[in-house]
Structure 1
Amino acid sequence: MAKVIVIYDQPKDQDSFENYYREVHIPLVHKVPKLKGAEVHRVFQGLNTNDHLYLIAELHFNNPEELTQALASAEGQELQADVANLMPFLNKPPVIAIVD
């Protein structure tokens, strides 16, 4: 399995972030080919960090090759580009990790 993990800090405009994330960003996630599953976790406590962690999203793929193909697809490119549309609601860009 391979995953994309996206870690968001506390938004500066939480209501607008939540609305955009739910109404626009999540539907784009579900269009990504080869996606096997997706999870969103609300962070209620972060340890060993000064960051104010808010949300962690995981996108699941069968393997690194399918993940790479999915992100290179038109739908994957549209999803990645949409992160810029979240920035007005955030204090800093999300951390993105690609893991196996």
Structure 2
Amino acid sequence: MAKMIVMYDQPKDKEGFDKYYHEVHIPLAEKVPNLKNAVVHNVLQTMNSEQQLYLIAELEFETPEILTKSLASPEFQAVQGDLRNIMQYLNKPPVVALVD
């Protein structure tokens, strides 16, 4: 199994972020090929860090190779391109980690 984990800090516009994220960004992400599962977590508290996380998304793929292939797809490029739109609600870009 392989995952892409996306961690968002507290947005500057929570209401706008939540609406855009759930109505536009998630539907784009759901189109990424080979996506096995997607889970979004609202962060209740961040400990041992100055970073104040707001939301964590986990995108699960069968293998690291399939994840890599999916990241090269036009559908994922649309998700990545949407970052410029979602940035209007954020203070800084999300942190992304690829894990196995």
**TM (normalized to structure 1)?**
0.98
- The runs of 4+ residues in structure 1 deviating greater than 6 Å are none
Structure 2 unaligned runs (5+)? Answer: none
Q: Structure 1 residue 15 and structure 2 residue 8: aligned?
A: no
Q: Which amino acid aligns with 2:85?
A: N
Corresponding residue of 2:28: 28
Write the distance in 2 (CA, Å) between the matches of 1:52 and 1:15. Answer: 17
Corresponding residue of 2:89: 89
Q: Structure 1 residue 37 and structure 2 residue 12: aligned?
A: no
Write the distance in 1 (CA, Å) between the matches of 2:6 and 2:51. Answer: 14
Q: Which amino acid aligns with 1:39?
A: V
Corresponding residue of 1:99: 99
Identity over aligned residues, as a percent? 61
**TM (normalized to structure 2)?**
0.98
**How many pairs does the alignment contain?**
100
How do 1:53-68 and structure 2 match up within 5 A? 53-68=53-68
